[in-house]
């Protein structure tokens, strides 16, 4: 591994930067061609010259690391795209609709507690992920980090489950689109709306990463403004504006702060996870960002403000406006019934007539946004697994515009399941589909924290330190450690409530509907180790972890000097500026 990380650094770095130049010059290459010729040629495979690095003597892991470092995804996302993906990228049906089910099962204090705990853990996850992604902006980001810093079995198992979770989410969001439209008109067959949104969302991703970035930028702004507007309107209603008069903390006392006790709080965690899902997309886009060294740290730090403002504050406002005994909330168990949205219920209860329609339109925007993110997240993860040799090589096909076409096609084909919207059994089908990846988000987040710990330990084991780390997580290794512990405890609580559901005895079917991903995770991991014949080794030795391949800044000494100068410049500023740069 050391041979790749040091002796071949010069040649691999030269090839890497040559590839950047080739990718960035695609547009100029087509300048003298017609629009239709450019469109047709853009779908052809990218033509990369051999970079002269001998891979014959490399192990499978070394080839995987090198492949992800030179994967030709287009680098066209700007800082503003990444900022809005960070701020509003995961605001979707989990927050707008799923929070209603969490309120019904856990009560207002249960929702608030679950958001705070999961939110802290996710802040630690994103900080850890930001540190590694700025250092190694490679294809697939954290998916590749699992194979690189822990073991290829982790990369295959968790990468596949993460991809499948987005794969299943896409048709589910299409169904949610049709249900949102039915709020205004329920006479048209929902399959019609599924078809319209399937074509629209698929087209967004065919415009490439820049098209996705622009669309997500606009949609995220819309969602952010809507949430801020709801919080302001909610505070006004709480203070007495509307039909109910002064509300205050009435519902926190009657019917109460908690519902179903500790078990209700544990049940609320899964809704909190669904609300925060997609927070890691910022790092997934690292390899498609023009300047990750500048853009990613700022984007990842925005997560703190998003958690505080959009989730914690919203949880308090909703808890004051909607009692957990409201029967409309119970419809939220499907996480797609827009009538179960506590946002819509709160505004309706306040007697403000026009806002429910506006809120429903915002929910539609959020659903489209999450649908586009599903295609983006799934396609990039699948392509990364393929380029590492963990899936068939054809899935790693990248065209001249930097689009993983085969992976996008697979995701769009799976979206056809959205036509189950017109079936009476669609709820049962999606329940079992989601059971395949029910805990996938938690497993992914736990693995990210552990991988960050492994990265730091590898630095120490090889006699290196954070002086060469471009962006150091403000929470450090302790943040990752505590975040991982909290997430593990949450998973234990979810397994407990899955085996013994609220209000009933032990139920095997309930367990598999909620936690099928757990035995599947074990089977996939062990099966991969048996297939590769590596049952005798479960972790890559820290001394053999590759800490160099994939960097855009390959001269470690120059990099150390630049980092030291940046830190000295910030340290010379005022106290308030240092506080600002710490959080923003």
DSSP codes of every residue in 527-543:
HHHHHHT-TT-SS--GG
Radius of gyration for the chain, computed over Cα atoms and rounded to the nearest angstrom? 24
Q: State the Cα–Cα distance between residues 230 and 560, nearest whole angstrom.
A: 46
Q: For residue 524, give every residue at least 6 positions away whose Cβ sits within 8 Å of its Cβ, in sequence order, or none.
A: 156, 157, 160, 161
Q: 292 falls in which pLDDT band (50, 70, 90)?
A: low
User: What pTM does this model have?
Assistant: 0.82
Alpha-carbon distances of 415 from 115, 168, 169, 174, 374, rounded to whole Å? 30, 8, 9, 8, 10
Place of tokens 């709480």: 238
Torsion of CA 296, 299, 300, 303, to 10 degrees: -170
Q: 19 falls in which pLDDT band (50, 70, 90)?
A: very low
pLDDT in tens, 25-43: 444 444 566 655 655 555 5
Q: State the Cα–Cα distance between residues 298 and 292, nearest whole angstrom.
A: 10
The larger pLDDT score, comparing residue 401 to residue 221, is at 221
CATH architecture of 73-553: Up-down Bundle (1.20)
pLDDT in tens, 297-319: 777 777 667 777 778 888 899 98
Whole-number pLDDT of residue 399: 75
Expressed in angstroms, the distance from the first to the final Cα of the chain is 36
Q: 566 falls in which pLDDT band (50, 70, 90)?
A: confident
From 135, 137, 145, 125, select the one nearest 71 (Cα to Cα): 137
Torsion sign, CA atoms 148, 150, 152, 156: negative
Q: State the Cα–Cα distance between residues 408 and 205, nearest whole angstrom.
A: 8
From 377, 447, 413, select the one nearest 205 (Cα to Cα): 377
Q: State the Cα–Cα distance between residues 453 and 93, nearest whole angstrom.
A: 32
| CB-based contact 8:53 (threshold 8 Å) | yes
pLDDT in tens, 518-541: 888 899 999 999 988 888 888 889
Average pLDDT of the residues of the chain: 77
Q: State the Cα–Cα distance between residues 517 and 525, nearest whole angstrom.
A: 12
Q: Determine the 3-state secondary structure of 448 from DSSP.
A: helix
């Amino acid at each position: 591994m050391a041979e790749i990380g040091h002796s071949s650094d010069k040649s691999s770095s030269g090839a890497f930067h040559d590839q950047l130049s080739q990718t960035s010059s695609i547009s100029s290459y087509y300048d003298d061609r017609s629009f239709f010729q450019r469109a047709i040629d853009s779908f052809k495979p990218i033509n990369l010259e051999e970079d002269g690095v001998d891979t014959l003597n490399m192990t499978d892991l070394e080839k995987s690391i090198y492949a992800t470092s030179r994967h030709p995804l287009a680098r066209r996302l700007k800082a503003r795209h990444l900022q809005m993906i960070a701020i509003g990228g995961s605001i979707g049906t989990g927050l707008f609709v799923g929070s209603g089910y969490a309120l019904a099962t856990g009560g207002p204090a249960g929702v608030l507690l679950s958001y705070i705990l999961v939110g802290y853990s996710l802040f630690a996850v994103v900080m850890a992920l930001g540190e590694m992604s700025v250092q190694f902006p490679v294809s697939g980001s954290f998916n590749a980090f699992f194979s690189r810093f822990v073991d290829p079995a982790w990369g295959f198992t968790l990468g596949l489950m993460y991809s499948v979770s987005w794969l299943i989410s896409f048709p589910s969001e299409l169904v949610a689109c049709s249900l949102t439209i039915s709020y205004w008109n329920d006479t048209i067959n929902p399959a019609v709306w599924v078809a319209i949104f399937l074509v629209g969302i698929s087209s967004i991703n065919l415009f490439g990463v820049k098209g996705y970035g622009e669309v997500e930028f606009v949609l995220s702004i819309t969602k952010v403004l809507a949430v801020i507007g709801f919080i302001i309107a909610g505070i006004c209603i709480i203070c007495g504006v509307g039909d109910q008069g002064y509300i205050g903390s009435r519902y926190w006392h009657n019917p109460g702060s908690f519902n179903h006790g500790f078990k209700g709080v544990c049940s609320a965690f899964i809704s909190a996870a669904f609300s925060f899902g997609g927070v890691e997309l910022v790092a997934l886009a690292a390899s498609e960002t023009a300047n990750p060294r500048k853009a990613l740290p700022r984007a990842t730090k925005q997560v703190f403000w998003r958690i505080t403002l959009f989730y914690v504050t919203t949880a308090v406002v909703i808890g004051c406006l909607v009692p957990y005994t409201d029967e409309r909330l119970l419809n939220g168990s499907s996480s797609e019934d827009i009538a179960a949205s506590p946002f819509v219920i709160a505004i309706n209860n306040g007697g403000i007539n026009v806002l429910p329609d506006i809120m429903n339109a915002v929910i539609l925007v959020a659903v489209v946004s999450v649908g586009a993110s599903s295609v983006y997240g799934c396609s990039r993860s699948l392509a990364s697994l393929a380029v590492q040799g963990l899936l068939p090589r054809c899935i790693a096909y990248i065209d001249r515009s930097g689009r993983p076409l085969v992976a996008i096609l697979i995701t769009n084909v799976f979206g056809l399941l959205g036509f189950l919207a017109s079936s009476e059994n669609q709820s049962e089908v999606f329940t079992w589909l989601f059971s395949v990846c029910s805990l996938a988000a938690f497993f992914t987040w736990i693995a990210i924290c552990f991988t960050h710990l492994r990265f730091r330990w590898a630095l120490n084991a090889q006699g290196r330190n954070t002086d060469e780390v471009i962006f150091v997580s403000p929470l450090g290794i302790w943040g990752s450690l505590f975040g991982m512990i909290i997430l593990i405890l949450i998973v234990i609580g979810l397994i407990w409530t899955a085996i013994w559901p609220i209000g009933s005895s032990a139920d095997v079917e309930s367990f598999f509907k909620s936690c099928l991903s757990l035995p599947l995770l074990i089977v996939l991991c062990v099966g991969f180790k048996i297939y590769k014949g590596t049952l005798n080794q479960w972790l890559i030795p820290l001394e053999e972890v590759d800490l160099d391949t994939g960097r855009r800044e390959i001269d470690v000494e120059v990099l150390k000097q630049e980092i030291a100068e940046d830190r000295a410049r910030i340290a010379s500023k005022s106290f308030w500026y240092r506080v600002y740069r710490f959080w923003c």
